[in-house]
Every structure is written in structure tokens, then in C-alpha cells.
Amino acid sequence: MILVWILIGITVSLSWQAFNNGLLMERLQFHLGSVTAGREYQRLVTSAFVHIDWLHLVLNMVVLYIFAERVLFVYGLAGFFLIYFGSEVLCSLLTIYLHRHSWDYTAVGASGAINGIVFALITFAPTMGIGFLFIPVKIPAWLFGFLYIAYSIFAYDRKLGFSAHAGHLGGALGGVLLAVLLQPELLIHNGWVILLTAGPVAGLMALLHFYPEYLHFDRFVEKKAFQKRDEYREKKHLSQAEELDMLLEKVNSGGLDSLTPPERRRLEELSRKL
């Protein structure tokens, strides 16, 4: 568990810094345009290390702590980290697909990775009991997984809550697929729960592929939502110039020592680019 505690510690530390450092948040967050047009593929993973606020951070870390030990026991240390980061990557990839027309779409948080951990355990032990936080009633894991995915699909693009439901679905799907990759016999023994959890996500992707207006109606009606790649790159260049101006203004007013280490590295990076 020591490496899991280190993972939690790094996530808490970076999130804490990002709460008061907008530049750090901007550099680590998932930003669709930066990934697809800017080729900043590291954002597929770094977004898991920053969160919106303390509530978002604490809830994710508590769930990670609760499920980590059991997933380590079932899949081993290497399997745990493969599921964690692999689910986060798949979470980001599904987000790119479902929000492919929204270049400015952003997301942060380890929810996708943690969903992968939870659903990998559900795939292995679908009949175990899972309880909600602060509610002592447990339901079968397979039922929890099905209800969670059903709600995420229903809430997707309906602005219910503040969650990135597309990412949640991608993380859950990643947990199921990677669990089967690590233990192929699960496909035979627990194939029914795999269909029950992964099936609806695959159905949503098929629906959006053939009938994209079904859940993206407003985005397909409003042409303003479609941004050309060249337009985004120009906008990104301007934002970097503005960011450089902000850093230089801070240096002029408080000296070089007023910059944090991440801000210094960002200043050097922008100076070389611009």
C-alpha cells in the first residue's frame, strides 16, 4: 500500500498547489484542443493529479483508499497501476470522442482512474456488497455498476451535477477491459456482468456514431460550437502570449523570486516558444 499512499500524496500535493495556481492547473488539466491540435498527450494522464476543489479531491482519494487494498490483492501491484492509469487514458480518449466538436472542453480529476479501480473489482467479484458513503446499506456490486453507468449515460450532456460523465464512463469501461486483459478467465466466469457494465457504454458510442444529434442536439444546431483547428491554434498562440505577459508583469512587480518553481519553468518554456 506504500506506493498507493505515495500516489495519493502526489495527487493531494499537486491539487493543493493548483487550487491557488491557475497556470499549473492550466498546464495539467485535460484540454481537448491542446491534446488533439497541440499534441500535448501527457494531459491524458496529468489531469488525474489535479481537482476542482477540496470536496472533489477528498471524495476521490477516500474512494481510492477504500478499494485500493482489495484491487492490489486481486490484480497485484503492476495490475493496479495498469488499471489506474490505463483507465485514466481510456477515460480521456472516450472524452475526446464524445466531445470531439468542443475544442475548448476541459476536465480534471482522478474519477476516471478511480472508476477503473472500482469496476475492475466489480468485474472480479460482482456479488460483493458495495455501500454508499455515509449510508450503511449495501447492494450487490453488479447492481451498483449497472445503476452507476445508467445514471452517467442519462446525465451525460444534460448538465446534471458538475461531473464529467463521459470520463466516468470511459474509466468504468477501462476498468472492465483491463480486468479481462489481466485475468482472461473473467470473460467466461463473469461474462454477464461484463455485458451489463460495458454493453451500455458501447451502445452509447454506437448511438452517437450513427445518430450524433441524439445527445448533442444543441451542439449540432449551433455552428459556433465547431472550431477549425487553425482557429484554435491561433487562439492558443494568443493565450500563450497573454500568459507570458502575466508572468513578466509579476517579475517586474516582485522580482524573479516572486515566481514559483512551476511558474519559472513555464516562463522559460514560453520564452523559448515566443
Question: Which pLDDT score, from 0 to 100, does residue 221 have?
Answer: 34
CB burial class (10 A; 0-12, 13-18, 19+) of residue 47?
Answer: buried
Could you tell me what percentage of the chain is helix, strand and coil, using 3-state DSSP and rounding each to the nearest 5? Answer: 75, 5, 20
Q: Which three cell numbers stand for residue 228?
A: 477549425
- Would you say 61 and 8 are in contact if contact means Cβ atoms under 8 Å apart? yes
Q: How far is residue 196's CA from residue 203's CA, in Å, rounded to a whole number?
A: 11
pLDDT-flagged residues of the chain (< 70)? 132-136, 156-164, 211-239, 259-263, 273-274
Question: Which pLDDT score, from 0 to 100, does residue 168 have?
Answer: 86
Three-state secondary-structure class, residue 228: coil
- Would you say 169 and 149 are in contact if contact means Cβ atoms under 8 Å apart? yes
Question: Which pLDDT score, from 0 to 100, does residue 217 have?
Answer: 39
pLDDT digits (tens, 9 = 90+) for 84-138: 999 999 999 988 887 777 778 888 999 999 999 999 999 999 999 987 655 667 8
β-bridge pairing 138-140 and 129-131: antiparallel
pTM of the model: 0.76
Three-state secondary-structure class, residue 140: strand
- Would you say 172 and 149 are in contact if contact means Cβ atoms under 8 Å apart? yes
Task: Show the beta-strand stretches assigned E in the chain.
Answer: 30-31, 106-107, 129-131, 138-140
Three-state secondary-structure class, residue 122: helix
- Residue ranges of domains in the chain, CATH in brackets: 2-223 (1.20.1540.10), 229-273 (no CATH)
Q: How far is residue 45's CA from residue 33's CA, in Å, rounded to a whole number?
A: 15
Q: Which three cell numbers stand for residue 189?
A: 466466469
